[in-house]
Amino acid sequence: SKDDQFDLDALKKEAREWPGLEGMDLVPMVTSAQRFTWDETPWVWNEGFGQQTKPEFNVVAIDYGIKRNILRLLAGVGCKVTVVPATTSAEDIMAMKPDGVFLSNGPGDPAATGKYAVPVIQQVIASGTPTFGICLGHQMLGLAVGAKTKKMHQGHHGANHPVKDETTGKVEITSMNHGFAVDQDTLPAGATQTHISLFDGSNCGIALEGKPVFSVQYHPEASPGPRDSHYLFQRFAELMRENKRSAA
C-alpha cells in the first residue's frame, strides 16, 4: 500500500484461501508450446558449451517443465533430443522412432498431470522403448506402473540430500525439489525401489524388472555432488545401446 503498511487481514485471508498443491496440474503453465530439437552439450572448462554433431541416439523428451542442463547431459551422452509438449500422444512420440524416451521434471501434483500423461507413459513402456524419468517424470512413471503418489508432510528442497543407490550401495549427494513422493508401500511386483532418501527413507528411484525403464526423484543434472549422479545419463545411454543391439 501507499504508506508501506501491509494489510495483514487481507493477506491472511488470501493465504487461507489458497487451495494447496494437491490436485493442481501446473504443467500447462511451463511446458513448451511446440516441439524443438536440442544439441547443446555440457559446459567444459575453457571451452564453454559444446554441440552434439554425431548423435548415437534419437531421444524424445516429454516436457513437463524440463531443465536445460538435463538436455545438455542427454546430448553429452550421444543423444539428439527432440523436446515435445506435455500433451503429445504416444502415437506421435512413437512415430518419431525414438531410441529412448525421457520423462522430465515439472511442478504440481503428479496425479493431476497424470490424468493425461500416465496413459502415454504406459504406451511408451509397453512398446519396449528405453525410458528414463526425473522428478515429476519419476512420480508419473510410478503411477503408470500402478503405484500411488502422496503429498509429503515435509517436502525436499535444495542441495546436499544424501540418497543411497540400492543397486550399487553407493551414497550420492543430490539436489531435490519436490513436495510429492511415490509411496513405496504401493509399488507393485516388478517395480523395484532403487534409491532411497537417507533423511527420511522416502522413495527416490524405481526400475522395472526385465524392462529398460528407470527413474529417480532427485535432480541428477543439478550438480550438488557435483557429478555424483551423472552416471544415470550413462545408464540410460547403455540401455538404449543394448536395445539397439538386440533389435539389430
pTM for this entry: 0.95
Tell how far CA 49 is from the center of its chain: 23
Given the residues 156, 161, 195, 219, select the one marked as catalytic: 219
The pLDDT tens digits for 48-71 are: 999 999 999 999 999 999 999 999
Q: What is the mean pLDDT of residues 215-240?
A: 96
Q: Give pLDDT, residue 190.
A: 97
Residue bearing cell 487451495:
19
CA distances (Å), 220 to each of 64, 107, 130, 217, in order? 17, 17, 18, 9
* Distance in angstroms (rounded) separating the CA atoms of residues 178 and 202: 12
238 is annotated as an active-site residue: no
User: What does residue 225 show for φ and ψ, rounded to 5 degrees?
Assistant: -80, -35
Q: Pick the catalytic residue from 138, 161, 221, 230.
A: 221
The pLDDT value given to residue 1:
52
pLDDT digit string, tens, across residues 3-35: 788 999 999 999 999 998 999 999 999 999 999
- Decide if 115 contacts 86 (C-beta within 8 A): no
Average pLDDT score, the chain: 96
Task: Please give the Cα distance from 30 to 91 (Å, whole number).
Answer: 23
Three-class SS of residue 211? coil
Tell me: pLDDT of 229 over 70.
yes
CB 101 within 8 A of CB 124: yes
SS3 of residue 148 by DSSP:
coil
Q: How many helices (H) and strands (E) does the chain have?
A: 6, 12
Tell me the backbone φ, ψ of residue 200, rounded to 5 degrees: -135, 5
Q: Does 135 qualify as catalytic in the annotation?
A: yes
What's the confidence (pLDDT) of residue 13?
Answer: 95
| pLDDT surpasses 70 at 237 | yes
- 204 labelled catalytic: no
Q: What is the DSSP letter of 121?
A: H
Encoded amino acid at 9, one letter: D
CATH architecture of 32-247: 3-Layer(aba) Sandwich (3.40)
- Please report, for residues 83, 169, 194, 199, 223, the alpha-carbon distance to residue 164 in angstroms, rounded to integers and kept in the order given: 30, 6, 8, 10, 16
The CA-based angle 47-105-190, given to 5 degrees, is: 115
Is residue 233 within 8 A of residue 78, CB to CB? The reply is: no
- Going from N- to C-terminal start, the domains of the chain cover 32-247
Instruction: Name the active-site residue from 135, 178, 204, 230.
Output: 135
Closest to 25 measured CA to CA, from 140, 154, 158 = 140
**Rounded to an integer, what distance in angstroms lies between the CA atom of residue 68 and that of residue 136?**
16
Per-residue confidence (pLDDT) for residue 211, from 0 to 100: 98
pLDDT value, residue 2: 63
Instruction: Read off the pLDDT of residues 134-189 as tens digits, 9 standing for 90 and up.
Output: 999 999 999 999 999 999 999 999 999 999 999 999 999 999 999 999 999 999 99
For residue 35, give the 3-state DSSP assignment. Answer: coil
Mean pLDDT computed over 92-115? 98
Q: Is the pLDDT at 39 greater than 90, yes or no? A: yes
Q: What is the percentage of the chain residues whose pLDDT exceeds 70?
A: 99
pLDDT interval class at 112 (50, 70, 90): very high
- CA–CA dist 231, 174 (Å, integer): 13
Per-residue pLDDT at 153: 93
Supply the DSSP symbol for 187. P
- Residue 5 has a pLDDT of 87
Q: Quote the pLDDT of residue 3.
A: 73
Q: Give me the count of residues in the chain.
A: 248
Residue 132 CA to residue 207 CA, distance in Å, equals 9
Residue 103 CA to residue 27 CA, distance in Å, equals 13
